[in-house]
Chain A
Amino acid sequence: MNAIENPDPLVIGGQSFHSRLLIGTGKYRDFAETRAAIDASGAQIVTVAIRRTNIGQNAGEPSLLDAVPASQFTMLPNTAGCYTADDAVRTLRLARELLDGHDLVKLEVLGDPKTLYPNVVETLAAAKTLVKDGFRVMVYTSDDPIVAKQLEEIGCVAVMPLASLIGSGMGILNPWNLQIIIENAKVPVVVDAGVGTASDAAIAMELGCDAVLMNTAIAAARDPVLMARAMKLAVAAGRDAWRAGRMPKKLYSAAPSSPTTGLIGKA
């Protein structure tokens, strides 16, 4: 879709996208389901993980990149599972080589394996190294507005605060912090992690987030392909609602929607 057809593109690191839903490729039953869910979601950016290859086993094993080719989607290699800045940087350098110089990446450095809460100290260190090394870094972080601003100042092309913990499906726990992050940010803000169902995604977009990134909410649904479509609609609806500008909330208004004059039975 070009700019004339889409007056409201998502621009990340100089690249335009029409979809504001980014999705992960993990936890699906098989690659066919992964692909069907991506297609139903309308996502253009998909995250992938980088892992050691199986050596000497399953030589003919299908590959994710056959089902989800880099020629059709914008790959977003992540550093999921990394607990140090050094491991995250090494992982993304490998990813760049693997994907023929592709430099748009998702940085996440985790703090502990129980909560998967981000370690912002290591994240800041890794972001500095990666930006200097020419990567366009989309960065997963906590919902701390100061850290989000620092990541932006380092040169990250998008900041991606959590709604709640990875894989929890708890939805948006602190809309007030997200609102401060959005107000302060000059780069896109992407809610990443914690979305559980379609209304969570719509609320994130109504708050003014630029996009939503999710994996488990779709992959762990009973019908992942149907949920992928629900998320597509929720993100689009939330974005339109934000652009339209909601009416103010009032406890009561005494201003009915129907005319107050011309009622029958009056003198």
Chain B
Amino acid sequence: MISLTINGAPRSFDSPLNCNELVERLQLGGKRIAIERNGEIVPRSQFAACMLQNGDRLEIVAAVGGG
């Protein structure tokens, strides 16, 4: 089991997963998002290669209305 902090909240997963799998598990597939992992951007092209580690802190963001 691995534990992650996603957008400030703790979340656990039964088995290791990469960023692509995380996106699917969170039902964010097809959405325009960007991911930061422990303060570093994860380029979309690296999602499949990016295996998440226990304790990773992730920020997942989207564009919203704003001035």
Let me know if B62 and A97 touch, CB within 8 A.
Answer: no
Task: Indicate if A32 sits at the interface (CB-CB under 8 A).
Answer: no
With A52-B7, A55-B6, A93-B36 as contacts: A80 and B63 at CB distance below 8 Å: no
CB pair B67 A53 closer than 8 Å = no
Beta-carbon contact of B64 and A49 below 8 Å: yes
Q: Decide if B21 is an interface residue (CB 8 Å cutoff).
A: no
Would you give the shortest CB distance from A10 to chain B, in whole angstroms? 19
Chain B residues within 8 Å of A, Cβ to Cβ:
6-9, 26-28, 31-36, 39, 41, 43-44, 59-67
Residue of B44, B62, B65 with most chain A CB atoms under a 10 A cut-off:
B65
Q: Apart from A51-B62, A53-B28, A90-B59, what 20 extra A-B contacts exist at CB < 8 Å?
A: A26-B65, A27-B65, A48-B63, A48-B66, A49-B64, A49-B65, A49-B66, A55-B26, A55-B28, A63-B31, A63-B32, A75-B63, A78-B66, A78-B67, A80-B67, A90-B39, A94-B36, A94-B59, A98-B34, A213-B67
Best-buried of B8, B59, B66 by chain A (most CB within 10 Å):
B66
A99 contacts which chain B residues (CB < 8 A)?
A: 63
Interface size bucket, A side?
35 or more
A34 interface residue (CB < 8 Å to B):
yes
Is A25 at the interface (CB under 8 A from chain B)? yes
Chief secondary structure at chain A's binding surface: mixed
Tell me whether A51 and B67 are in contact (CB under 8 A).
no
Q: Does A50 contact B67, Cβ atoms closer than 8 Å?
A: no
Question: What distance in Å separates the Cβ of A41 from its nearest Cβ neighbour in chain B?
Answer: 13
Residues of A within 8 A of B (CB): 24-28, 31, 34, 47-53, 55-56, 59, 63-65, 75, 77-78, 80, 90-91, 93-99, 166, 213-216
Bound form: Cα–Cα A90–B36 in Å: 8
Complex-state Cα separation, A55 to B35, whole angstroms: 13
Determine whether the beta carbon of B63 is less than 8 Å from that of A49: yes
In the complex, the answer to whether B66 meets A26 with C-beta atoms within 8 Å is yes
Pick from B7, B26, B39, B61: contact of A50, CB under 8 Å: B61
